[in-house]
Amino acid sequence: MNAVEIHGLVKRFGSFTALAGFDLAVPRGSIFGFLGPNGAGKTTTLRIMTGLARATAGHVVIEGVEVGKGRLPIGYLPDTPGFYGWMKAREFLAYIADLHGLDHPPIDATLERVGLLDAAKKRVGGFSRGMKQRLGLAQALLPSPRVLLLDEPVSALDPAGRKEVLDILSRLRGELTVFFSTHILNDAERICDDVGIIDHGRLVLESPRDELLARYARPIFEIDAVPDEIPQLEALAAKLRALPWVERVSQEGARLRVTVNDVDAARHDLLPMLVGLSVSRFEMLGATLEDIFLALTNGEAPPVSAPTGGAA
């Protein structure tokens, strides 16, 4: 029932090892987030999956077809798609249909799916970045692929453009398999069913998203103070870092985030330490995908709490 299976994938460029050999399985019909910092090996992996690059060792099978040994049932959107600006949107998709040898391409239906039917007769050169990205999605979807491969599909978009693209991807769940790389963790947490984290060419972790969040659950306290209290918040952060029940402290402006390993001690000691501060919010949170990602890619292993039995 896997749409994508990767076995022992290695890629070297001279003496540099971009992919150090990893296995990966992506369930059919899922939305899979391939996460990693810049330079981790995400684009290299996707290029091998599409056949645009050759692996040094290992192989990739997509819907039963091994890459390099048959026609792949995929659609692909690179991180920086190129367009002919003088073409109109409908003309561009007709061109893509000819490249695929499609007899009766669903051009208007595909444009409607990505919210561009009203712009079908407009020149692509006048499109916004978000519209171009949705047109890129349209060309990837046009041949009715069984697996959609996307390289950083929302990284260069503003919040409104990101939401539009993510909503389109979310509606594809169950219809086909979506495999997309990203370093924007909030987006992955929002729509992904499963995630894999890659760092320095090695697969650090692979798991269903919900099981991952439960497995690495760690209590986190967030404190919001008024902006005038930022110096006092910095002093509090310094005190907290010295305490044995505190694992990590981060500060963004007037917000303090405290990760703890002893909830009882935190509940008992943390509130009294806020006396004298003008606090607008004090809340205990669960772990986020960003917390797990940062811990794993920094070489830390978050303590396991209440494992659910998923692969990690």
Q: For 46-87, what is each residue's pLDDT tens digit?
A: 999 999 999 999 999 999 999 999 999 999 999 888 899 999
Q: Is 257 exposed, middle or buried (0-12, 13-18, 19+ CB in 10 A)?
A: middle
**pLDDT mean over 5-21:** 96
Tens digits of residue pLDDT in 217-240: 678 899 999 988 899 999 999 999
Report the percentage of the chain scoring pLDDT > 90.
70
- Report the C-alpha gap between 122 and 119 in whole angstroms: 5
Looking only at the bridges linking them, the beta strands covering 177-182 and 31-35 are: parallel
Answer for the pair 302, 287: CB distance below 8 angstroms, yes or no. yes
For residue 309 the two structure tokens come to 């039995």
Residue 122: closest CA among 133, 137, 132: 132
Answer whether residue 95 shows pLDDT above 90: yes
Q: At what angle do helices 230-241 and 263-273 cross, to 10 degrees?
A: 140
Weakest mean pLDDT among 96-100, 225-229, 266-270, 302-306: 302-306
Residues facing 13 on adjacent strands: 16
Mean pLDDT of the chain: 90
Weakest mean pLDDT among 179-193, 252-266, 281-295: 281-295
Higher pLDDT, 262 or 198: 198
Higher pLDDT, 215 or 167: 167
CATH no. of 219-285: 3.30.70.920
pLDDT in the model for residue 80? 84
> In the chain, where are the structural domains located?
2-207, 219-285
Buried b (16+ CB within 10 A) or exposed e, 281-297: eeeeeebbbebbbbbbb
| Rg of the chain in Å (alpha carbons) | 23
pTM, entire model: 0.78
Q: Which CATH class is domain 2-207?
A: alpha beta
Cα dist. 176→29, 51, 92, 168 in Å?
Answer: 5, 20, 23, 12
pLDDT in the model for residue 184? 83
pLDDT in the model for residue 239? 94
Residues facing 33 on adjacent strands: 180, 195
Answer whether residue 149 shows pLDDT above 80: yes
Answer whether residue 202 shows pLDDT above 90: yes
pLDDT in the model for residue 299? 59
pLDDT in the model for residue 302? 46
pLDDT in the model for residue 305? 35
- Report the C-alpha gap between 281 and 225 in whole angstroms: 7
Report the percentage of the chain scoring pLDDT > 70.
95
Return the sign of the alpha-carbon dihedral for residues 223, 228, 230, 236.
negative
**pLDDT mean over 251-270:** 90
